[in-house]
Amino acid sequence: PSVFNWEDPLDSTSLFTEEEIAIQQTAHSYCQERLLPRVLDAYRNEHYDRKILEEMGELGLLGAKIKGYGCAGVSSVASGLITREVERVDSGYRSGMSVQSSLVMGGIDEFGTQEQKEKYLPGLAQGKLLGCFGLTEPNHGSDPGSMESTAKPHPSKQGYLSISGSKTWITNSPIADVMLVWAKLQATGKIRGFLIDRDECPPGTLETPPLKNKNGLRASITGMIQLDDCPVPEANMFPEVEGLRGPFSCLNSARFGIAWGVMGALEDCISRARTYALERRQFKNNPIAKYQLVQKKLSDAVTDAAYGILAATQVGRLKDQGKAAPEMISMIKRQNCDRALLNARTLQEIFGGNAVSDEYGIGRHVANLFVTQTYEGQSDIHSLILGRAITGIPAFV
């Protein structure tokens, strides 16, 4: 007879190949042995250790889907399993990795010239070069199409553009070596992608101040990108892609990764809450796990995690066959983020007063999961993307 396994209730593992399971195990061991012991300190002190990306690079976890340039060339499902393992420890660590892998490396791989790929991808794959992705601006978050950053011919440097503008809430920006910045080309008014090397920016043309005192995602580093007539070689512009298709294509892959990652965070909440409920005793020395209301909280969370993984697996398979519509990714990003946040918040109640202590880890996940529901398209924005596809009527304007 088949056995019910609360850690994988619908046996999603049976849908993964041996190679995918081996990759997940490598990521799992690294995350539990090397990341978990440092997360509490990192979160308390709002510290991100850039060596983490180098360690991930050594294991082949960065840009893992990309073929060539020192990348592993794995399936979408395998890349999802990596993000699930990283976010099982902390969404901030997954965030740093997603930006590097999906947004920067993915963007260069899809839209870069051969020279750009050869120049940046091997270093990014090793985690020796750090990347960030600048789309959001202080006045334009959900509506990046209205961005104000512009690129115009440089007044004095032949073959250079001059970029001005401000990007905010940018993961990794204070420590990034290379920045993928989206700005409008003045001549056409069209959005284009630019690779900006920190080392090549003259003093005063680039600042990347950190945004401190966050109440979520404290184990990742976030900042601004301020460009003031920054000279950027024309050769550093993505050659063809124009308009929002560029940044949104990178986002398809990062949003897919988040849909997997938040399920890892939720699974960690489930495991912590279950252990706590079995150990904590109230009323005639009963474990609180005996009480129906506690069991319902666990049942809801375990069900949502199992459904979320199955849906993400299906979209991953479709993605590799070239059949994943962006709306499918919006659906799993929205659903998995919303469900992870809702269930984590409910499971937090199982810890009683101890939920307030950061030693129990649950409050950290709840605070992080609020951010995951907000970035890469806030959940309501994904509702509208789905609503547009369902009705044919865009609700944004």
Buried b (16+ CB within 10 A) or exposed e, 184-220: bbeeeeebbbbbbbeeebeeebbbbeeeeebebbbbb
Active site residues: 376
Angle at 59 between CA 55 and CA 60, to 5 degrees: 115
Give the residue, chosen from 145, 210, 233, 387, that forms a contact with ligand TGC under the rule CB under 6 A: 145
251 binds, among ligand TGC, ligand FAD, none (CB under 5 to 8 A by kind): ligand TGC
Number of residues that bind ligand TGC (CB under 6 A): 26
Specify the residue, 95 or 162, whose C-beta has the smaller distance to ligand TGC.
Answer: 95
Residues 19-38 that bind ligand TGC (CB under 6 A): none
66: how many CB neighbours lie within 10 A of its CB? Answer: 23
What sections of the chain are H helices per DSSP?
Answer: 18-30, 36-45, 51-58, 76-89, 91-98, 106-111, 114-126, 245-279, 292-320, 326-347, 362-374, 379-391
Contact letters for ligand FAD, residues 338-377 (x by CB under 6 A): ---------------------------------x--xxx-
User: What count of residues does the chain have?
Assistant: 397
For the record, the structure tokens of 35 come out as: 């990341």
Residues 323-362 that bind ligand TGC (CB under 6 A): 326
For the record, the structure tokens of 66 come out as: 């990309």
374 binds, among ligand TGC, ligand FAD, none (CB under 5 to 8 A by kind): ligand FAD
26/20 Cα distance (integer angstroms) = 10
145 binds, among ligand FAD, ligand TGC, none (CB under 5 to 8 A by kind): ligand TGC
380 binds, among ligand TGC, ligand FAD, none (CB under 5 to 8 A by kind): ligand FAD
Q: Does 210 bind ligand TGC (CB under 6 A)?
A: no
Give the residue, chosen from 171, 173, 336, 348, that forms a contact with ligand TGC under the rule CB under 6 A: 171
Give the residue, chosen from 23, 64, 66, 99, that forms a contact with ligand FAD under the rule CB under 6 A: 99
75 secondary structure, DSSP code: -
Angle at 64 between CA 50 and CA 240, to 5 degrees: 95
Specify the residue, 60 or 174, whose C-beta has the smaller distance to ligand FAD.
Answer: 174
Q: Does 43 bind ligand FAD (CB under 6 A)?
A: no
Q: Does 136 bind ligand FAD (CB under 6 A)?
A: yes
Q: Does 153 bind ligand TGC (CB under 6 A)?
A: no
Site residues for ligand TGC per CB under 6 A: 95, 98-99, 133, 135-136, 142-145, 171, 243-245, 248-249, 251-252, 254, 326, 375-377, 381, 385, 396
Site residues for ligand FAD per CB under 6 A: 99, 133-136, 141-142, 169-171, 217, 222, 371, 374-376, 378, 380-381, 384, 396
